Amino acid sequence: MHSTSIAEPLDDYLREVVQTLHAAVNQGMRRAADDPRGATRQILDCQEILQVIMAGAVNDWLAWSLPAKPA
C-alpha cells in the first residue's frame, strides 16, 4: 500500500485531535461528577472538535504542512 504526501501530517494532526478530545472528555467527566453543569465548557469543546473533524476539510487542517503548489 502506498501512502500519499499528506498521510503522515494527517496522522499527526488526527493524533493531536484525539488526544485533545480525550483530555476534554476526562476533564468534563471529573467536573460532571461534582456538578453536571460544571462540565458544560468541556462538552462544548468536544462538540466543536467533532464538528471540525466531521466537516472533513483536510486541506484546511494541513495547510501549514503541505508543500506549496508551483505557480
- Dump pLDDT digits (tens) for 9-28: 888 888 888 898 898 888 88
CA distance 27 to 18: 14
- Dump pLDDT digits (tens) for 24-69: 888 888 888 888 888 888 888 888 888 888 887 777 766 665 555 6
Q: Tell me, what's the pLDDT at 68?
A: 59
CA distance 33 to 51: 25
Enumerate the H helices of the chain as residue ranges: 7-34, 40-55, 58-61
Residue 6, phi then psi, degrees to nearest 5: -100, 0
Residue 2, phi then psi, degrees to nearest 5: -100, 140
